[in-house]
Amino acid sequence: MTNRRRGCVVAVAALMLSLSAAAAAPVADRYPGLAAAHLLMRDDAVVSAHAADTRRPMASLTKLMTALLAVESGRDDGEAVTVTAAAARETGTRLGLSAGQRLRFGDLLAATLIGSDNDACHALADALAGSEAAFVARMNARARELGLVHTHYENACGHDASAHVSTARELAALALVAIQQPRILVRTSQPEAAITTLDATPRTFRFGNHNELIGRYPGAIGIKSGTTPAAGRCLVAYAQRDGHAALLVLLDARERWWTATRLLDDALGGNVP
């Protein structure tokens, strides 16, 4: 394990201990009924939590681990990646990539984080590990390294599966690691992006950020949203304002954007102790 990875493990272990301590003396649920599970942090303190240790589907919040492994791999953003047939067959939100197309590694990362495109996500997984199955094994190994004991991945992109689960608390811990990576944070803060293939006849794909807080909520700088039938509307949001930072995880929130705005306003405005 590299010193950088070891440092992340230590940092998250300390975070998980502090969050566990908060769980031992339960933090008040100041926002009952707004989501099936949530966790809200202001600076370094948990200020509200509900069902934060209950395993639930996580939809495309999955892609935070995919992106983390991508940037930790050390692969250069300009490296060419060839889209596999398996990636081209992806379902759900997708760019519409074709097998054999070539794109830059960093552009696939952008499409994964901003557009939440499953074919781009799968192409990254195949490029990094040779197959999605091999990449998922790496995802689960990294989760164990980070002490995410209630998190388990069945796929790289966030499709519903019975054992594909995490918790609000562990997604918060993962997000705190991810936002330390500039290559992740800068992309999740972009309202939109465009990428172009490296083929003889280039094709350009344009996509917007599925996180509707970006460009609309003052101080929002990341990080990922996701929706599936089993998971409902999910969100990990990070915002900074007036010298304070707030991190919010929502799982299955019916009014996701209204709820996120209210909770972030309370945290950044000092309306929670």
- Provide the annotated binding site for substrate: 224
Tell me how far apart the alpha carbons of residues 249 and 222 are, in angstroms, rounded to a whole number: 12
Give the closest residue to 97 by CA, choosing from 63, 68, 127, 64: 127
Catalytic residue among 18, 20, 48, 60: 60
Cβ(93)–Cβ(117) under 8 Å?
A: yes
Cα 201 to the center of its chain, rounded Å: 33
Tell me how far apart the alpha carbons of residues 165 and 174 are, in angstroms, rounded to a whole number: 13
Catalytic residue among 20, 73, 116, 225: 116
Cβ-defined contacts of 99-103 (< 8 Å, 24+): 101/197, 101/199, 101/203, 102/197, 102/198, 102/199, 103/195, 103/197, 103/198
Tell me how far apart the alpha carbons of residues 261 and 194 are, in angstroms, rounded to a whole number: 27
- The token duo for 182 is 């500039």
Catalytic annotation present for 63: yes
Catalytic annotation present for 20: no
Catalytic annotation present for 116: yes
Cβ(169)–Cβ(53) under 8 Å?
A: yes
Active site amino acids: 60, 63, 116
